[in-house]
Amino acid sequence: MKLSLLIIVAALLHSPALFAGDPDPEIDHLLEAIGDSGCIFIRNGTRHDAEKAEDHLRMKYDRGRRYATSAETFIERLASKSSMTRKLYMMECPGAEAEPAGDWLMRRLEEFRAGQT
C-alpha cells in the first residue's frame, strides 16, 4: 500500500502538466472568449479592443494566479475591476449596452459549464 502511494505521488510530482503553468480550462476559456468576442473592453475609462483586453487579463492572471483559485475568484478578484483604481471593467458588445465585465464573464462561464454536461 505504501509503495503504491509513493509511486503515485512520484508520478504526480514528475508530471509535466503539474509544472506547465497552463491556466485552468475554465479561466482559459474565459480569456479566449474575451479575445474572440469582438467587444470593446473599457478599462479606467479607456476603450480597448478584445485582443488587448485578453492580453491584459492574461497578464493579470499570470501575475495574480494565487488569487484566482477558481473561475469565480478569477472573475471576482482579477477580471472585474482595476486593482489600482477599483473602477469596474465594462464590456461593450455590438448591438448591446455596456455592462460590467464580471456579469459578462459569469454568463460565459455558465454557458461553458452547461456545454460540459
Instruction: At 112, list the grid cell.
Output: 461553458
| Sequence-ordered list of residues with C-beta below 8 angstroms from that of 93, at least 6 positions apart, any chain | 37, 38, 39, 40, 104
Q: What ranges in 48-115 are assigned the alpha helix state H? A: 50-64, 71-74, 101-115
pLDDT for residue 63: 96
| AA letter at 97 | E
pLDDT at residue 44 above 90?
A: yes
What is the per-residue pLDDT across 15-37, written as a single tens digit (0 to 9) for each? 434 444 455 999 999 999 999 99
Better-predicted residue by pLDDT, 8 or 26: 26
pLDDT for residue 9: 43
Better-predicted residue by pLDDT, 13 or 23: 23
pLDDT for residue 89: 98
Q: Are 99 and 91 in contact (CB under 8 A)?
A: yes
Cβ neighbour number for residue 114 with a 10 Å cutoff: 8
11 SS3 class: helix
What is the per-residue pLDDT across 70-114, written as a single tens digit (0 to 9) for each? 999 999 999 999 999 999 999 999 999 999 999 999 999 999 999
Residues in the chain: 117
Mean pLDDT of the chain: 86
pLDDT for residue 62: 96
Confidence of residue 1 (pLDDT cuts 50, 70, 90): low
Burial class (CB in 10 A: 0-12, 13-18, 19+), 30: buried
If residue 43 lies in a helix (H) or strand (E), which one and from where to where? Answer: strand 40-43
pTM confidence score: 0.78
pLDDT for residue 116: 79
Would you say the C-alpha torsion 54, 26, 104, 63 has a positive or negative sign?
A: negative
